[in-house]
């Protein structure tokens, strides 16, 4: 039987509302965890490696495995490392081929037999982090460089990662995981400081949030309106995705 198929139509926990399987597709690992209606984890996080040259077929197979490991759930939220509109993928810079126009949301619904919402990974992190007031910029530092801006809680996805930043290189070239490994923490932090100044001048944000696995490598003293946000907040985004009206 497919994961999540038992007791179709009934929430797994009627007292607290639907159980959401939150999935985060990264360039290095694919993670899954179940959350209650408040975003509180109700299972251990499971992680499998992102396969090399990760095609849609390979990624669907991994998500199927993670879902089976997690057991029952009512709905699924997915953070995807590329441009997604209305559940359809347009880009996937750090995955394999075959993603352009791939209807990931519809395919996952077929596979998992549950309602699914897919959005960009930085957007999901942002949904769980922002206050909903003023101009809030969110970046994520992981394999890639993710970005999204919220104006009074309304999200607009950005792809700053692939825009020029420094000496003809993009933000992702200079601040993605490959740059951190190659340049070392000190240089990477210096460049991050420059990026934050650039972004403040460009967007005049009131607050900025930094998420992603490499936020832990930050040693730089951050301006008072810039905060590091945790993975847990990113997970909460998986719940907020169900209340969000943006594409
Ligand atoms: C992608 C973004 C994504 C970011 C973080 C970039 O390469 O273009 O869409 O949010 O990586 O995964």
What confidence score (pLDDT) does residue 112 get? Answer: 98
What percentage of the chain carries pLDDT values higher than 90? Answer: 88
**CA–CA dist 67, 72 (Å, integer):** 8
> pLDDT band at 13, cuts 50/70/90?
low
Domain 14-121 has CATH 3.30.420.40: yes
pLDDT higher than 50, residue 132: yes
Domain residue extents for the chain: 14-121, 130-228
Q: State the pTM of this model.
A: 0.93
Which protein residues are within 6 Å of ligand 1, measured from CB? 81-83, 91, 93-94, 120-122, 140, 142, 144-146, 159, 161-162, 172
Cα(223) to ligand 1 centroid in Å equals 24
What single string gives the DSSP state of each residue in 23-89?
Answer: EEE-SSEEEEEEE-TTS-B-S--EEEEPPTT--HHHHHHHHHHHHHHH---SEEEEEESS-EETTEE
pLDDT higher than 90, residue 168: yes
CATH superfamily of 130-228: ATPase, nucleotide binding domain (3.30.420.40)
Equal CATH topology for 14-121 and 130-228: yes
**Nearest Cα residue to atom 4 of ligand 1:** 146
- For 172-224, the pLDDT digits (tens) are 999 999 999 999 999 999 999 999 999 999 999 999 999 999 999 999 999 99
**Nearest Cα residue to atom 11 of ligand 1:** 144
Atom of ligand 1 nearest to the CA of 120: 10
């Amino acid at each position: 039987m497919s994961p999540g198929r038992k007791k179709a139509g009934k929430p797994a926990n009627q007292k607290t509302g639907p159980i959401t399987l939150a999935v985060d597709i990264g360039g290095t690992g694919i993670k899954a965890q179940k959350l209650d209606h408040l975003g509180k984890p109700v299972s251990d996080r499971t992680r499998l490696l992102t396969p090399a040259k990760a095609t849609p077929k390979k990624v669907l197979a991994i998500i199927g495995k993670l879902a089976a490991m997690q057991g029952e759930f009512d709905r699924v939220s997915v953070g995807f490392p590329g441009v997604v509109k209305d559940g359809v993928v347009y880009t996937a810079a750090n995955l394999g081929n075959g993603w352009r126009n791939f209807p990931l949301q519809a395919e996952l619904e077929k596979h998992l037999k549950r309602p699914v919402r897919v959005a960009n990974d930085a957007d999901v992190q942002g949904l769980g982090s922002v206050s909903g007031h003023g101009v809030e910029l969110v970046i994520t530092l992981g394999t890639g460089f993710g970005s999204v801006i919220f104006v009074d809680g309304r999200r607009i996805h950005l792809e700053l990662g692939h825009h020029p930043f420094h000496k003809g290189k993009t933000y992702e070239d200079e601040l993605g995981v490959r740059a951190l490994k190659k340049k070392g923490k000190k240089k990477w932090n210096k460049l991050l400081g420059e990026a934050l100044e650039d972004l403040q001048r460009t967007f005049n944000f009131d607050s900025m949030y930094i998420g992603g696995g490499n936020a832990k490598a930050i040693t730089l003293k951050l301006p008072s309106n810039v905060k590091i946000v945790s993975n847990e907040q990113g997970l909460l985004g998986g719940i907020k995705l169900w209340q969000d009206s943006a594409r």
